[in-house]
Amino acid sequence: MPEARTRRPLVLGLVAGILATAPVLFAQQPPRPAEALGYDPVATARLPSWEEMIAYFEALAAASPRVRLDTLGRSTLDAPLVMATISSEQNLARLDELRNVQARLADPRRIGSDAERDSLIERGRLVVLVTAGTHSTEVGGPLAAMRLAYQVATLPTARATRIRDEVLLLIVPAVNPDGVDPVKEWYEATLGTPWLGSEPPFLYHHYVGHDLNRDWYAFTQKETRLLVDRVFQRWHPQIHHDLHQQEPTGARYFIPPWLDPVEPNVDPLLIAAATSLGTRVQWSMLEEGRTGVAVAALYDAWSPARSYVHYHAGVRMLAETASARLAAPIEVSPDELVPGANLDPRIPSWNHPVPWPGGRWDLADIVGYMQSGAMATLGIAASERRTWLRNFERVSRRAVEGWDAWPEAWVIPPPSRDGPAPLGPIAVAELVRILRTGGVEVLRAVRPFAAEGRSFAAGSYVVDMHQPYGSFAQAVLARQPYPPQRKYEGGPPKPPYDVTAHNLPLLLGATALPIHEAPPVDEMEPVVAPPPAPARRVAGLSAEPAVMVGLYRPWAPSADEGWTRWLFDTYTVPYSSLTNDDIARGGLLRQFTAFVVPSIEPAVLRFGRSAADVPPEFAGGMGPVHVENLREFVEGGGTLVALGASVDFVIEALDLPVENFLDGLSSDDFYAPGAQVGLAIDTATAIGAGMPSAAAGWLENGAAFRSRSGGDMAVVARYAARNVMRSGWVVGESWIAGRPAVVEVPLGAGRVVLFGIRPQYRGQSLGTYPLLFNSLKRRR
Ligand SMILES: [Zn+2]
DSSP symbols for 597-621: E-S--HHHHHH-B-TTTS-GGG-B-
Quote the ligand 1 centre to 672 CA distance (angstroms). 24
Quote the ligand 1 centre to 393 CA distance (angstroms). 30
Please provide residue 279's backbone torsions phi and psi, each rounded to the nearest 5 degrees.
-65, -35
CA dihedral (376, 382, 383, 388) positive or negative: positive
Quote the ligand 1 centre to 37 CA distance (angstroms). 25
Quote the ligand 1 centre to 138 CA distance (angstroms). 6
Using pLDDT thresholds of 50, 70 and 90, give the confidence band for residue 529. confident
Quote the ligand 1 centre to 208 CA distance (angstroms). 13
Q: Is the pLDDT of residue 601 over 90?
A: yes
| Residue 677 confidence (pLDDT) | 98
* Residues 424, 422: Cα–Cα separation, whole Å: 6
414-441 mean pLDDT: 85
Quote the ligand 1 centre to 195 CA distance (angstroms). 22
Q: Is the pLDDT of residue 20 over 50?
A: no
Angle between helical axes of 424-437 and 470-477 (0-180°, round to 10): 150
Quote the ligand 1 centre to 559 CA distance (angstroms). 14
How far apart are the two ends of the chain, measured CA to CA in Å? 56
540: DSSP letter:
T
Query: In the chain, what percentage of residues exceed pLDDT 70?
Result: 96
| Residue 425 confidence (pLDDT) | 85
- In 427-548, beta strands by DSSP E: 443-445, 449-451, 454-456, 461-464, 513-515, 524-526
452-465 mean pLDDT: 95
Quote the ligand 1 centre to 493 CA distance (angstroms). 25
Quote the ligand 1 centre to 247 CA distance (angstroms). 10
Quote the ligand 1 centre to 182 CA distance (angstroms). 17
Quote the ligand 1 centre to 281 CA distance (angstroms). 20
317-337 mean pLDDT: 98
| Residue 532 confidence (pLDDT) | 83
Q: Assess contact for 504 and 428: CB atoms under 8 A.
A: no
433: DSSP letter:
H
Quote the ligand 1 centre to 305 CA distance (angstroms). 14
Residue pLDDT, tens place only, 218-227: 999 999 999 9
CA atoms within 13 A on the CB side of 660: 26
Quote the ligand 1 centre to 319 CA distance (angstroms). 9
* Residues 117, 129: Cα–Cα separation, whole Å: 23
Q: Is the pLDDT of residue 417 over 70?
A: no
Q: Is the pLDDT of residue 5 over 70?
A: no
Using pLDDT thresholds of 50, 70 and 90, give the confidence band for residue 710. confident
- Reduced to 3 states, what is the DSSP secondary structure of residue 689? coil
Quote the ligand 1 centre to 351 CA distance (angstroms). 21
Quote the ligand 1 centre to 316 CA distance (angstroms). 14
Quote the ligand 1 centre to 175 CA distance (angstroms). 11
Quote the ligand 1 centre to 135 CA distance (angstroms). 5
Quote the ligand 1 centre to 318 CA distance (angstroms). 9
Residue pLDDT, tens place only, 87-134: 999 999 999 999 999 999 999 999 999 999 999 999 999 999 999 999
CA atoms within 13 A on the CB side of 501: 29
108: DSSP letter:
G
Using pLDDT thresholds of 50, 70 and 90, give the confidence band for residue 533. confident
379-394 mean pLDDT: 98
Quote the ligand 1 centre to 189 CA distance (angstroms). 23
CA dihedral (502, 504, 506, 508) positive or negative: positive
| Residue 25 confidence (pLDDT) | 43
Quote the ligand 1 centre to 243 CA distance (angstroms). 7
* Residues 315, 299: Cα–Cα separation, whole Å: 15
